[in-house]
């Protein structure tokens, strides 16, 4: 650091003084006095000479390496002075006698830059890396290995995946004053040792506190938990991992696939126990999908669940990115979509700084991409969890600055170049994931606009104008939904997904969960409109009611038709956690339209359609789970229709008697009053096929302009359009 230049007295003075000579001397001692190394490190380059981290002629203890401090042995020669002062058990008393380490040029095979067999890592020793590893020509996987491998090393630059430390984001209102942080002398690794832990500065404005895992509850059980998890799935562990990355990962890419395999092949003890168990327990749902696994008895799932619960609870004391990964994967289980764990995941993510913009942080590029994918996966979990549970969301736009995902945020090499089908699956899955994020943002807008306590009170306060307020607020969201659907890439459209690029019919595809989520979003918007109409039907013009109900009926027909056309390739694939409730929402919406039908014939029409929908659900299933995917929807449909039997008898309306006639002048006036004068060119073309041939008794033909104005966008008329 350099001394700040003088500035006028009227200007604020930056608090970033020059480090003291003693602090700089400590840096020189810790890094072997290699000033060239220090300057290169300040420019963002890591040094490969790990011997420069050693002070004196012997190896320092783990605690001093972790704190980047000089290791001075006490009189008893068993504990260093630093560990004695901090009350920490020193590893020198457990380690072999210090011995001089060989330099990289004297290390045999390592001198040529070749990787040896890593074998089992002993955390009492320091892993040596050849000097050639800092070369820009080093492979990504090798750099990632160094960044993730256990034990403190100079090359460990990750923030959220260190094996021996965890990070805590220092927010602007904590007992750490951000203006004073720069007073601390940071070493070339952007770290500064304090009494409470080690500060890690990742940008000019963002700083984390790094703390040791070994001081947290349950840390000593990690190794035993991993061994017990492996024992439960043996000898099928590798096959289950292959199954996970074949079926689940393409549509939900929140794990670094190549790093996961490298770690597993090297030593499974490097994994966080709940993450490893979560991968196994999700993959077991497709046990029968594998010809090899289907011939063997399934592992003890209940015991795996017990280990996940205990190890995940322990990991929350030392949260890392793997903790969020495990929590998100567990939430994808049919029984795992509980609201309270989502709140915990959001809190852990904020602790890790996932809500921040990490674009310019001083961390490895692959970790930036992983952080962004995890952040948006958590965003989706929060928004869809809020929908299916009817709870207030935990993530707000005012405290969310994560940048949109780009192609660079996904690993480059996740497939074999010779595996064309696998490459297509990965690319389709990434497109699916990104589009689900966009749709979740529209859903978040719907929830904020119509379903917060304040939003619902605003409609109530509007009195007779409440429905008109709802319609005016719905129009911009209608256009966003239609624009989203019209912009869907061909690869993830329903009718094209298995008819292009010679994709075999045996390949599973998760695109169904995206389209089902679209219908759930449409239905969530229409439910608010229909509910508003029903709350004060006498104050609403009959023609407005007719237009809005016709639009809602079109959505119901399209959604039911979508479910009816799902194939085994869709049904047997991975479905997002909200899907079982999204299936149920279709039936709930039909029940709402049945309950609010003005006449007996229209109510009877909805009754018949709901009966057909239940039959469709009954013949749909998911391997390894019976009918759990649709069983919940059937159960909720039975509850809804059971309640509808208590409705009072509806009047019998003739078709001619229910027809609503208006002169053109009154229609235009009504439209202007209800939603405002909006130029026709602001509307997209409405696809009338949605309701063609499916008119309910008592309905009439409405003009395209009127339908578009009052009704949310038609969206999917025919899924193949």
Long-range pairs for 398-402: beta carbons < 8 A, 24 or more residues apart: 399/355, 400/355, 401/355, 401/356, 401/357, 402/354, 402/355, 402/356, 402/357, 402/372, 402/375, 402/376
Contact 431, 489 (CB under 8 A): yes
* Tens digits of residue pLDDT in 688-708: 333 333 333 333 333 334 444
Distances (CA, A) of 412 to 31, 365, 408: 35, 12, 8
pLDDT of residue 457: 95
- Phi and psi at residue 574, in whole multiples of 5°? -75, 130
Q: What is the mean pLDDT of the chain?
A: 76
Alpha helical stretches, state H, 219-359: 222-233, 237-247, 257-266, 273-283, 301-315, 321-331, 339-351
- Report the 3 state secondary structure along 575-619: CCCCHHHHHHHHHHHHHHHHHCCCCHHHHHHHHHHHHHHHHHHHC
Contact 617, 583 (CB under 8 A): yes
> Would you state the structure tokens that stand for residue 623, as one six-digit string?
């391997």
Neighbouring C-alpha atoms within 13 Å toward the C-beta of 622: 26
Contact 711, 691 (CB under 8 A): no
Question: Domain residues of the chain, as ranges?
Answer: 219-409, 462-710
Distances (CA, A) of 187 to 126, 164, 198, 545: 20, 20, 11, 69
pLDDT of residue 620: 78
pLDDT of residue 417: 67
pLDDT at 710 over 90: no
Element (H, E) at 168: strand 165-169
* Tens digits of residue pLDDT in 183-224: 899 999 899 999 999 999 999 999 999 999 999 999 999 999
Contact 88, 64 (CB under 8 A): no
Contact 122, 110 (CB under 8 A): no
Q: Which residue has the tokens 């649709």?
A: 630
Rounded Cα–Cα distance for residues 681 and 672 (Å)? 15
pLDDT at 526 over 70: yes
pLDDT of residue 33: 37
Task: Name the most confidently modeled range: 32-41, 49-58, 513-522, 639-648.
Answer: 513-522
Contact 443, 387 (CB under 8 A): yes
Contact 365, 358 (CB under 8 A): no
Q: Which residue has the tokens 């009127």?
A: 706
Contact 202, 196 (CB under 8 A): no
The residues, any chain, with a CB within 8 Å of residue 259's CB and separated by 6 or more, are 141, 144, 145, 148, 366
Q: Higher pLDDT residue, 484 or 334?
A: 484
pLDDT band at 15 (very low <50, low <70, confident <90, very high): very low
pLDDT of residue 506: 62
The residues, any chain, with a CB within 8 Å of residue 340's CB and separated by 6 or more, are none
What's the mean pLDDT in 592-596?
A: 95
* Tens digits of residue pLDDT in 136-161: 333 444 444 444 444 433 335 789 98
pLDDT of residue 115: 33
Question: How many Cβ atoms sit within 10 Å of the Cβ of residue 566?
Answer: 16
* Tens digits of residue pLDDT in 481-516: 999 999 999 999 987 544 444 544 567 889 999 999
pLDDT at 465 over 70: yes
Q: Higher pLDDT residue, 39 or 96?
A: 96
Q: Higher pLDDT residue, 95 or 243?
A: 243
pLDDT at 661 over 80: no
Residue 415, burial from CB neighbour count under 10 angstroms (0-12, 13-18, 19+):
middle
Rounded Cα–Cα distance for residues 677 and 57 (Å)? 83
pLDDT of residue 143: 45
* Tens digits of residue pLDDT in 246-278: 999 999 999 988 888 888 988 888 899 999 999
pLDDT at 659 over 70: no
pLDDT of residue 131: 34
The residues, any chain, with a CB within 8 Å of residue 148's CB and separated by 6 or more, are 158, 161, 162, 163, 259, 263, 270
pLDDT at 350 over 80: yes
- For residue 93, what is the DSSP state? G
Whole-number percent of the chain with pLDDT over 90? 50
pTM of the model: 0.74
pLDDT of residue 93: 63
pLDDT band at 399 (very low <50, low <70, confident <90, very high): very high
pLDDT at 378 over 50: yes
Rounded Cα–Cα distance for residues 211 and 165 (Å)? 5
The residues, any chain, with a CB within 8 Å of residue 681's CB and separated by 6 or more, are none
């Amino acid at each position: 650091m350099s001394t700040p230049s003088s500035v006028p007295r009227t200007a604020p003075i930056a608090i970033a003084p020059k480090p003291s000579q003693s602090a700089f001397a400590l840096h020189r001692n810790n890094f072997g006095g290699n000033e060239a190394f220090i300057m290169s490190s300040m420019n963002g380059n890591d040094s490969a000479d790990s011997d420069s981290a050693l002070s004196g002629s012997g190896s320092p203890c783990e605690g001093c390496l972790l704190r980047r401090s000089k290791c001075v042995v006490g009189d008893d020669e068993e504990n260093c002075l630093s560990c004695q002062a901090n009350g920490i058990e020193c590893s020198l008393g457990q380690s072999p006698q210090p011995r001089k380490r060989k330099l990289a040029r004297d290390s045999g095979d390592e001198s040529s830059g070749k990787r040896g067999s890593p074998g089992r890592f002993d955390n009492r020793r320091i892993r040596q890396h050849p000097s050639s590893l800092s070369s820009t020509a080093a492979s990504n996987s090798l750099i990632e290995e160094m960044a993730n491998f256990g034990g403190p090393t100079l090359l460990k630059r990750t923030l959220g995946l260190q094996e021996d430390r965890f990070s805590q984001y220092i927010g602007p209102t904590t007992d750490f004053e951000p203006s004073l942080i720069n007073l601390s002398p940071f070493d070339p690794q952007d770290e500064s040792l304090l009494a409470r832990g080690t500060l890690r500065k990742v940008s000019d404005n963002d700083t984390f506190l790094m703390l040791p895992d070994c001081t947290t509850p349950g840390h000593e059980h990690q190794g035993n938990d991993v061994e017990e998890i492996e024992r439960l799935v043996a000898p099928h562990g590798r096959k289950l991992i292959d199954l996970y990355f074949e079926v689940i990962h393409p549509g939900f890419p929140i794990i670094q696939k190549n790093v996961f395999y490298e770690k597993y092949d090297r030593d499974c003890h490097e994994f966080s126990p709940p993450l490893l168990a979560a991968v196994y327990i999700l993959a077991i749902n497709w046990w029968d999908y594998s010809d090899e696994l289907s011939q063997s008895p399934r592992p003890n799932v209940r015991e795996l669940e017990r280990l996940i619960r205990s190890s995940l609870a322990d990991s929350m004391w030392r949260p890392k990115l793997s903790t969020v990964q495990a929590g998100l994967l567990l939430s994808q289980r049919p029984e795992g979509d509980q609201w309270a764990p989502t709140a915990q995941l959001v809190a852990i993510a904020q602790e890790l700084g996932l809500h921040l913009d990490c674009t310019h942080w001083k961390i490895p590029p692959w970790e930036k991409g992983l952080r962004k994918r995890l952040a948006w996966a958590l965003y989706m979990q929060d928004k869809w969890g809020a929908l299916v549970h009817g709870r207030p969301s935990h993530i707000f736009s005012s405290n969310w600055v994560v940048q949109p995902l780009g192609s660079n945020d996904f690993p480059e090499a996740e497939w074999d170049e010779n595996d064309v089908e696998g490459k297509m699956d990965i690319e389709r899955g990434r497109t699916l994931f990104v589009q689900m994020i966009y749709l979740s943002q529209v859903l978040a807008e719907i929830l904020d606009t119509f379903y917060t306590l304040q939003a619902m009170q605003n409609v109530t306060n509007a009195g007779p104008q409440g429905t008109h307020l709802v319609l005016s607020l719905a129009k911009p969201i209608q256009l966003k939904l239609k624009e989203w659907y019209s912009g869907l890439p061909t690869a993830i459209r329903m009718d094209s997904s298995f008819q292009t690029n010679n994709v075999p019919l045996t390949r599973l595809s998760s695109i169904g969960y995206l389209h089902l989520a679209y219908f759930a979003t449409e239905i969530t918007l229409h439910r608010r409109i229909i509910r508003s109409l029903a709350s004060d039907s006498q104050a609403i013009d009959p023609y407005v009611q007719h237009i809005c109900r016709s639009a809602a009926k079109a959505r119901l027909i399209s959604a039911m038709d979508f479910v009816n056309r799902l194939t085994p390739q869709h049904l047997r694939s991975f479905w997002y956690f909200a899907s079982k409730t999204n299936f149920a929402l279709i039936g709930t919406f039909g029940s709402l339209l049945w309950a609010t039908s003005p006449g007996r014939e229209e109510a009877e029409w909805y009754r018949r359609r709901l009966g057909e929908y239940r039959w469709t659900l009954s013949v749909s299933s998911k391997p390894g789970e019976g009918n759990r995917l649709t069983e919940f929807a059937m159960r909720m449909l039975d509850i809804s229709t059971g309640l509808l039997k208590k409705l009072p008898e509806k009047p019998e309306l003739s078709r001619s008697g229910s027809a609503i006639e208006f002169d053109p002048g009154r229609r235009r006036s009504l439209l202007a009053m209800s939603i405002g004068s909006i130029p026709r060119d602001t509307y997209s073309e409405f696809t009338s096929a949605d309701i063609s041939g499916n008119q309910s008794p008592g309905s009439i033909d409405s003009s395209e302009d009127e339908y578009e104005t009052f009704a949310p966008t038609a969206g999917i008329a025919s899924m193949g359009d």
